[in-house]
Structure 1
Amino acid sequence: MNIDQIIEQQRTMFSEGKTLTYTIRKHQLQKLKQMIVRNEKQIIHALKTDLNKSEYEAFMTEITFLYAEINEALKLLWDWMTPEKRKTPLLHQGAKSFIYKEPYGVTLIIGPWNYPFHLMIAPLIGAIAAGNTAVLKPSEYTPAVSKLLANMIHDTFDQNYITVIEGDEKVSQALLEQKFDYIFFTGSKAVGKVVMEKASRHLTPVTLELGGKSPCIVDKDARLDMAAKRVAWGKFINAGQTCVSPDYLLVHEQVKEPFLAKLEQATKTLFSSKPLQNDQYTKIVNERHFKRLSAFLQDGHIRFGGKTDELHHSIEPTVLEDITWDDPVMQDEIFGPILPVRTFRHLTDVKGEIDKAPKPLALYYFSESGKKQEWIAKNISYGGGCMNDVVMHLANPYLPFGGVGPSGMGSYHGKTSFDTFSHQKSILKQTTKIDLAFRYPNSKLSLKMIKKMFKK
């Protein structure tokens, strides 16, 4: 079937109301969970093939979060679907006000290559829970996962309900020429602009999960051992190919040396002293990205790491010192296992540093001072983040996840995913038992009464 036919048949299925009931949505979510359980080993194997992810990393970062999201949706779906009652003003006396959650219809979900399974299924959970149909377009850069996902979805769901369309950039462009009712995209800013432009032709609403230069700030009162271990894990897991990984470090000048020493030790403990020989260490996705990242190793000077393996597209966890904002490594999101370091003297200087790049997707701050944590949260604009941790806000289904400005628009996870894929439809249910005379312009008394009511 061609793309036109697939979308048309999904539109027909949606218009017939076959995705709308609570029972159907719950059943489809259960099928999605069973699909993942049934194929766990194959998913882990495909991730190993495409990215050399270890079994531990594949399960922890690509699968566990999905179970948590599905379980949450199954538990609370009825509450999410129930119309919300809202207050009604006196002018509408006798009426009741509600918000109904209406699915958009036929949705398009375009996923990235860095977490190629997780970031395809996570938004799909919201699309199913909200009552939509979905077309999935996985990344061609991870062909093993793409093929497995296509087979899994084909074996589990009616293609008129959910289907996977594989292919390269031309396929993505062909999909974006179609009229969808909602588009959910995860990827780069450059492609995000294309998605938004194409969507605008049909006035299709979009969620864009992008990225940016996410800072990690280590203040002088931070617990350095803990901070070093958490930063090393969050930065170098998946070889730094994580949209919310720390993109650069801002370390207080008084603790720079002890912190970097602890960071080096933590990195070796987590990824071994010879990570290029570690079969559990994730590789760079392809040659183009490997060469792009390798060029950054010429910036500043290498504090530790820096070795590469071109044959296997692998780069050691690397920290760079003496970096300026003019260096190529600071011009855009790194998306690899390279961590530049800059220092600061006063906390107020941090805002000026961060403002040299567009609003980031994430921010991380290490300090034992609640007062300084509040200052960071209230004075710097970013998508979301952690205090005394990194990345883990992403794994909380009770927190909406998304960017701001160039780092993205819209959010998802948990109930927010349901809301993202739902139109909030306002309904006023008016009584016919009474009909207030002053609403009609039939006398001066009506105008006086209205003015009096609204000026209180």
Structure 2
Amino acid sequence: MTDGAMTGGIDDGIGDAIAATFTRLRTTYDSGRTRPHAWRRAQLDALRRMLREHRDDFAEAVHADLGKPVAETMLTELDLVAAEARFARDRIGLWTRRKPVVMPLALQPAAGWTVAEPKGVVLVIAPWNYPVLLTLEPLADALAAGNAVCVKPSELAPRTSALLARLIPRYLDPDAVAVVEGGAGETGALLAHPFDHVFYTGGERVGRIVMKAAAEHLTPVTLELGGKSPVFVDGTADLAVAARRIAWGRFTNAGQTCVAPDYVLATPDVAEALAERIAVAIREFYGDDPRCSPDYGRIVNVRHVERLRGLLPAAAASTAAPAGPARPTSSLIRVASVFGAVSDMVRRRLGSSGGGPAPDAAGRVVCGGVVDRAARYVAPTVLFGTSPDAPVMREEIFGPILPVLVVRDADAAIRFVNARPRPLAAYVFSRDRATRLAFERRTSSGALGFGLPLGHLLSARLPFGGVGASGMGAYHGKAGFDTFSHVKTVTVKPERPDTLRLVYPPFDAMTRGVVDVLRRLS
């Protein structure tokens, strides 16, 4: 995931305000106010009510910031937060219940158990790409665990940030939940305080800064970062289904999703046909000119538009828009699909690569390649025959560009993935059981999806988190509750009979005999 800036200073007035906010949250937490289950449930109910009563406001704010379609905001942000809050609310009693543990024979009679307690005052630093979901979902988990919470929305989504700052104090306990708006200066000022946990979603560069700042206070961190999430496709997959699912996962939110498919590794028998079928799926989803589609979003700012332009082949990245209707007719879609099927058959029988990739290391543009800086528009773009050394393969794309690379087989794909930093997700489209098992056992990623991109992001029952360069820690559901909780061990032993007298010094023959018996019985 790409970052905003983390540089710049802050004036004393803002620093004093942040210090006062931290002190207020600490005072509230120390009072015990956030610990009762009734308070936690009330906050989660209020969070859901806020989303329900201001659905249109949130949709409008996200659209203003990202050009995101209303339906997409509802499905991928508001509904997911509401589901997370409901899921956690209904399980607080279960998750906080004592968990008995059998004690060693040498300590009997004795009992032991673990209990989850809140960590204290926690900080949630949210990104801009899903400005509601990635702010409020970790907030819901932190509230379920009984913490006081400071939320820092992204300044790169200013309309959504302002809306959160206005609504959260109206619906949630203002003494226990605070919103701090601003940029890098405010984030730095927040990190100067000894929070009990810092939860950061964003890019690796700023993740290092957050972790370094937290280390000054020995504050534990959860880092939800990103990386280049690969997709592998072989000849056993249904190419039409794979193409639609890959296109959906890649181009939702204009590709600005941390677990979106970042590049495709495909075997030679299907690689070019798959690239063409993904182009067909794009036309099915967004029409001949996605710029005119109400269902296709925009890039967050001009800086990222220019960054993405630099990843395209030199011959692409024009600002000219293709002519044509907003959506293709059904007959055009059928013709394109038939053409794709015929192309598959011809290539399989002739073994042709269709002319091969262009000399540009980024590959040949199969579709898209159009950039409109003023409109913050980058067309959904598919590249075929991309070199592993191309600029588009050197960083997380985080935008609507999808390179398709040709690999010999699944073993080559696994070596390719393992030679790079471990990704936040990996996806496989193959019906071959041995291939699936090989990816499960021989690759490491935050999550692995067979035939389904983004699926683990949508379930409160599945932990979501990275590994290595893609992050540390996890959340969603029980995993989120655990992230914001400290699991405390409790032991108890009655005063009488004082069986420990059998092992007290001095260690005479009888004591040594007792210890020997206990050792054999343990």
Q: CA deviation at 1:441?
A: 3.1
Is 1:408 the equivalent of 2:423? no
Conserved 8 A contact 1:441-1:447: no
For structure 1, the 5+ residue unaligned runs are none
The equivalent position to 2:109 in structure 1, one of 70, 91, 94, is 94
Alpha-carbon separation, structure 2, partners of 1:398 and 1:91: 39
Distance 1:224 1:438 in 2: 72
CA contact (8 A) 1:385 1:391 kept: no
Matched, 1:128 2:143: yes
Deviation at 1:452, TM superposition (A): 4.4
Query: Are 1:352 and 2:367 counterparts?
Result: no
Which residue, out of 96, 107, 127, partners 2:122? 107
Q: 2:305 aligns with which of 290, 301, 321?
A: 290
Q: 1:196 aligns with which of 211, 215, 224?
A: 211
Q: 2:182 aligns with which of 161, 167, 170?
A: 167
- The 1:454/1:377 distance shift into structure 2, 3 A limit, reads farther
Alpha-carbon distance in structure 2 between the residues aligned to 1:414 and 1:25: 15
**Match for residue 241 of structure 2?**
226
Asked if 1:82 is matched to 2:79, the reply is: no
Alpha-carbon contact 1:317-1:337 (below 8 Å) kept: yes
Contact residue 412 and residue 420 of structure 1 kept, 8 A:
yes
- Number of aligned residues: 456
Match of 2:392 in 1: 329
Which shows bigger deviation, 190-199 or 377-386? 377-386
Question: Counterpart in 2 of 1:67?
Answer: 82
Mapped pair 1:367 → 2:382: no
Q: How much has 1:167 moved relative to structure 2?
A: 0.5
Report the Cα distance in structure 1 between the residues aligned to 2:83 and 2:449, rounded to whole angstroms.
20
What is the CA distance between 1:371 and its match in structure 2? 3.0
1:454 matched to 2:519: yes
CA distance in 1, matches of 2:34, 2:110: 30
Determine the C-alpha separation between the residues in 2 that align with 1:280 and 1:350.
33
Q: Which residue of 2 aligns with 1:251?
A: 266
- Aligned 1:132-211 pairs, distance under 5 A: 132-211=147-226
| Match among 434, 448, 454 for residue 391 of structure 1 | 454
User: Please, what is the CA RMSD of the aligned residues?
Assistant: 1.3
CA distance, structure 1, for counterparts of residue 489 and residue 442 of structure 2? 34
Give 1:219 deviation, angstroms.
1.8
Structure-2 residue corresponding to 1:6: 21
Which string of whole-angstrom CA distances, capped at 9 and with x for unpartnered residues, describes residues 256-292 of structure 1? Answer: 1322222111111112221012233100000110000
Identity of aligned residues (%): 39
Q: Is the 8 A contact 1:217 1:366 kept in 2?
A: yes
Instruction: Give the corresponding residue for 1:263.
Output: 278
> If you compute each CA radius of gyration, which structure gives the higher value, 1 or 2?
2
Does structure 1 conserve the Cα–Cα contact (< 8 Å) formed by 2:272 and 2:384? no
Q: Which residue of 1 aligns with 2:377?
A: 314
Distance in 1 (CA, whole Å) between partners of 2:382 and 2:511 is: 73
CA distance in 1, matches of 2:273, 2:510: 78
Task: Give the equivalent residue in structure 2 for 1:281.
Answer: 296
Counterpart secondary structure, 2:310: helix
For 1:348, the aligned partner's letter is D
Q: Is the 8 A contact 1:110 1:137 kept in 2?
A: yes
Partner of 2:36: 21
Q: Is the 8 A contact 1:222 1:366 kept in 2?
A: yes
Deviation digits for residues 374-414 of structure 1 (CA, Å, limit 9, x no counterpart): 22111101111211110111111111100001100000000
| Aligned CA distance change for structure 1 residues 452 and 42 (closer, same or farther; 3 Å) | same
The 2-side partners of 1:447 and 1:320 are apart by 74
Do the aligned partners of 1:213 and 1:333 also contact (CA within 8 Å) in 2? Answer: yes
User: Are the aligned partners of 2:233 and 2:429 in contact in 1 as well (CA < 8 Å)?
Assistant: yes
Cα distance in 1 for partners of 2:437, 2:419 equals 22
TM-score by length of 1: 0.97
In the alignment, what sits opposite 1:440? 504
2:388 is aligned with 1:340: no
SS at match of 1:246: coil
Contact 2:84 2:477 in 1 (8 A): yes
Any unmatched runs of 5+ in structure 2?
Answer: 1-15, 314-361
Matched with 1:237 is 252
- 1:203 & 1:439 partners in 2: Cα distance? 38
- Cα pair 1:276 1:308 within 8 Å, conserved: no
Cα contact 2:266–2:406 (8 A) shared by 1: yes
Give the match's secondary structure for 2:170.
Answer: helix
How far apart are 1:108 and its partner, in Å?
0.5
- Tell whether 2:112 aligns with 1:47: no
AA of the residue aligned to 1:265: V
CA displacement, residues 165-196 of structure 1 (integer Å, 9 cap, x when unaligned): 10111111111111111100000000000000
Deviations 1:265-322 (A, max 9, x none): 1111112221012233100000110000011112322121111111111111111122
Distance 1:251 1:366 in 2: 10
Contact 1:276 1:309 in 2 (8 A): no
TM-score by length of 2: 0.85
One-letter identity of the residue aligned with 1:447:
R
Deviation at 1:449, TM superposition (A): 3.4
